[in-house]
Structure 1
Amino acid sequence: MSGWKAKRFWKTVVVVESDGGFGVTLDARPVRTPAKSPMALPTRAMAEAIAAEWEAVEKEVDPRRMPVTRGANAAIDKVAPQFDEVAELIAAYGGTDLLCYRAEAPEALAEAQAAAWDPLLDWAAHEYGARLNVTRGVVPVAQPAESLERLAAAVHSVSPFELTALHDLVSLSGSLVLGLAATRAEFDPETLWRQSRFDEDWQAEQWGEDEEAVAAARLKRDDFLFARHFWNISAESR
């Protein structure tokens, strides 16, 4: 049941196994997506997280307090039916990856970008055989077709639940390479998020912080960290 405007009617929330996956029931009634699809979940960890969100409802269902449920709904109702289109959208970031565009000036900013971003590009070259070209300024730089194809293959290889997380990791950071790195346990997501914001942080140091910009950045950071968490509980069975 979608239940976004419903008041709490259930007493018990239970994680159940079904068809090789997991689900959640409310008084033995299966939770469904807004499109009325079965909420078939890939891991027990995700089912338990969703069950906890429904258990925490006191009076009315508030989707803002149920991020894992929202993510699962998106994976089932939106991403899965148009998987190839979403994957291609995300893979396209490789052609204009943030990590490939360095500041023309000041030199200190360009050096800081290189120190943080070159190891990530080296990782992508080693992990996927996908070496990307680097430039300074905003004029587009052509990328090797083979590298883009290999990065796209990596995107297409994930599940709909993982792609839901990867979509946010990439779109929020502006980098396919950084987004892919955020799916790996060896990378700290907080560090990756900071690495995606060199330009913004540099401007803030020079001209001071804007309260609205800081608040917006904090929300994006929280969404980025949640996307990493959603990936983890999507991929636990791998």
Structure 2
Amino acid sequence: MSDWAVKRFWTDVNVVPDKGGFAVKLDGRPVKTPAKAALVVPTQAMGQAVAEEWRAIDEKIDPNVMPFTRSANAAIDKVRVQFDDVAEMLAAYGGSDLLCYRATHPDPLIDRQAQGWDPLLDWADDTFGARLRPTAGIMPVEQDAAALRALAAPLHDATPFELTALHDLIALSGSLVLGLAVAAGRLSAEDGWALSRIDEVWQAEQWGEDEDAMQAASVKKDAFQHAHLFYKLSKDGALV
């Protein structure tokens, strides 16, 4: 399969070992990415997740409801071929990490941020030897270069599939530390998303919820949770 077909044409979907990973085959024919590379994923569990999406197709193929296939394609066609650039782009989040930019008022919001975010900054220090400094307001704070290098290291050590998941965990939350914490199991995806939304939730509590903003946040939350599942499947095949 080199392109998305218009309609289903296969009967059987199987996951088979292939090139040190696992390939999905449709009636014995290998699925390929949009760039015509072999769609070979690192774990059998990920292969099964991709295969289930192809089995679920009733008639027409809709990539919008095939998140594991889309993420696998991105890992192979995009992240793998520009791995260092992606890793460096994500590492840059450490210099402006969400967790470091705190409110100047009111006190309840300041306290909520400190209670939620300070333990994660401590975790980054304990885990990576990377101490980021928080600041009040929007003026940028220059972080220690050694700390930023330490936080960048796990990105460069990741596989393309892991980095694909980390991309969304970090970009959607606005925090390198929070994304790494969810990937490492320090936080659940649910808790990680909630901690990334402290400011937005506070504003909604004060002024009421905006329906469009809520809908956009729901879409992003689903993508964040998918990224966590994709990371787990990429690493060890376990959804725990």
Relative to the length of structure 1, the TM-score reads 0.98
Q: Which residue of 2 aligns with 1:86?
A: 86
Query: Which amino acid letter does the alignment assign opposite residue 209 of structure 1?
Result: E
Query: Which amino acid letter does the alignment assign opposite residue 205 of structure 1?
Result: E
Q: Is the 8 A contact 2:46 2:237 kept in 1?
A: no
- The alignment status of 1:159 with 2:159, answered yes or no, reads yes
2:185 and 2:200 mapped to 1: Cα distance?
26
Q: Which residue of 1 aligns with 2:222?
A: 222
Q: Which residue of 1 aligns with 2:65?
A: 65
Q: Is the 8 A contact 2:87 2:156 kept in 1?
A: yes
Instruction: Tell me by how many angstroms 1:76 deviates.
Output: 0.2
1:77-105 CA-partner distances (Å, limit 9, x unpaired): 01000000000000000000000011001
Q: Residue 73 of structure 1: SS of its match in structure 2?
A: helix
1:2 and 1:53 mapped to 2: Cα distance?
17
Instruction: Tell me by how many angstroms 1:59 deviates.
Output: 0.5
Q: Residue 182 of structure 1: SS of its match in structure 2?
A: helix
Structure 1 residue ranges without an equivalent (≥5): none
Q: Which residue of 1 aligns with 2:206?
A: 206
Q: Which residue of 1 aligns with 2:43?
A: 43
> How many residues are matched?
238
Structure-to-structure mapping, 1:42-191, within 5 angstroms: 42-191=42-191
Instruction: Tell me by how many angstroms 1:2 deviates.
Output: 4.0
Structure 2 residue ranges without an equivalent (≥5): none
Q: Residue 59 of structure 1: SS of its match in structure 2?
A: coil
Instruction: Tell me by how many angstroms 1:185 deviates.
Output: 2.5
1:151 and 1:110 mapped to 2: Cα distance?
25
Q: Which residue of 2 aligns with 1:28?
A: 28
Q: Residue 141 of structure 2: SS of its match in structure 1?
A: coil
Instruction: Tell me by how many angstroms 1:203 deviates.
Output: 0.6
User: Percent identity among equivalent residues?
Assistant: 57
Query: Which amino acid letter does the alignment assign opposite residue 58 of structure 2?
Result: E
Q: Residue 138 of structure 1: SS of its match in structure 2?
A: coil
Query: Which amino acid letter does the alignment assign opposite residue 94 of structure 1?
Result: G
- The alignment status of 1:235 with 2:230, answered yes or no, reads no
Instruction: Tell me by how many angstroms 1:153 deviates.
Output: 1.0
Instruction: Tell me by how many angstroms 1:208 deviates.
Output: 0.4
1:14 and 1:84 mapped to 2: Cα distance?
33
1:154-176 CA-partner distances (Å, limit 9, x unpaired): 11110000000000000000000
Q: Is the 8 A contact 1:6 1:61 kept in 2?
A: yes
Q: Is the 8 A contact 2:45 2:237 kept in 1?
A: no
Q: Residue 17 of structure 1: SS of its match in structure 2?
A: strand
Instruction: Tell me by how many angstroms 1:3 deviates.
Output: 4.0
